[in-house]
Chains A and B, each alone.
Chain A
Amino acid sequence: MKFADFVCREAILAELAAVDKEGAIREMVRALCKAGKVEPGEFESIVKAILKREELGSTGIGRGVAVPHTKHPSVDRLIGTVAVSHTGVDFTSLDGEVVHLFFLLVSPPDRPGDHLRALENISRQLRNEAFCRFLKQTKNAEDIQVLLDEADNNQFGS
């Protein structure tokens, strides 16, 4: 699976304003709403579902990366967005570091395979130091989209 298969380019956020976990999640889900990928009436339900899962264990996987996610019946295919915080967000990560890169995923309840394949793609690309570094340095959504496209085209050699 490639980034283009699940990342909604209209919902990419190049500079998160939020500095805490709930604020960051709300901002990303709101971007999916504005992009028309999530019904406005489902906004609060999706935010709460993601936060509830975070309570059981953070998806801050270390190295400045978090992958907040949930299953939700309102979506019929895997959707996601990418967000960058230059300030960093306290996400109670595994290594205690603030998070700069976010990959938020919402998947249909009956499609766990898509979620795992998206995670595999994200983790494979993030293992490339250059991809991570460039992503953290991006200044606008277009730059992020270009990087994701380059990763999809294996231009980082992973």
Chain B
Amino acid sequence: MPDLKLVRMMVVTDPIGLHARTAVGVADVVRRSQSTVTLMKDDRRASGTEVLQMLSLVVYPGESVVVEAAGPDAAAVLDALQPIMAGDFDEQARENT
């Protein structure tokens, strides 16, 4: 089966934006995948495995990021990244802080 290259626009809805924990969550998923993932905002690009690069994108709440995945599990990776980018995993923290 040939490798897929998929692109999806994702909105960062976390009230802090794309912050450290979000970037760590993305990198954790990407490192366990077989795909190469790149995040793009405006003219800036960041590897999905590099937290420091992702934090340098400076994505504010409500802004969108283009996420490109290339590899045999590209679709699954994008599906896994969607809730992380949305900040859904932070729901409990939002209620408490």
Footprint of B on A, CB under 8 Å? 49, 52-53, 56-63, 67, 69-72, 94, 109, 112-113, 115-117, 119-120, 122-124, 126-127
Contacting residues, chain A, for B97 (C-beta < 8 A)? 49, 52-53, 70-72, 109
Residues of B within 8 A of A53 (CB): 21, 93, 97
Task: Specify which of A56, A58, A113, A117 is in contact with B92 (CB 8 Å cutoff).
Answer: A56
- Answer yes or no: B72 CB below 8 A from chain A CBs: no
What are 5 residue pairs bridging A and B, where the CB atoms are less than 8 Å apart in the complex? A112-B17, A112-B61, A119-B20, A119-B58, A123-B51
Complex Cα–Cα for A71 and B90 (A)? 13
Overall SS of chain B's interface: helix
The smallest beta-carbon distance between A58 and chain B, in angstroms, is: 6
For the complex, count residues of B whose C-beta is within 8 A of A. Answer: 29
Chain B minimum-CB-distance residue to A70: B97
In the complex, number of A-B residue pairs with CB atoms less than 8 Å apart: 84
Which residues on the A side are within 8 Å of B54 (C-beta)?
123
A69 to B17, CA, bound (A): 14
The 5 A-B pairs at the shortest CB distance, nearest first, are namely A123-B55, A61-B51, A123-B52, A67-B20, A57-B21
Question: In the complex, what's the smallest C-beta–C-beta distance from A114 to chain B, in angstroms?
Answer: 10
Q: Which residues of A contact B28 (CB under 8 A)?
A: 94
Which of A58, A69, A70, A119 lies at the interface centre, i.e. has the most chain B CB atoms within 10 A of its CB? A119
A67 to B22 Cα, complex, angstroms: 12
Bound Cα distance A70, B89 (Å): 15
B25: min CB distance to chain A, Å: 6
The distance from the CB of A52 to the nearest CB of chain B, in whole angstroms, is 6
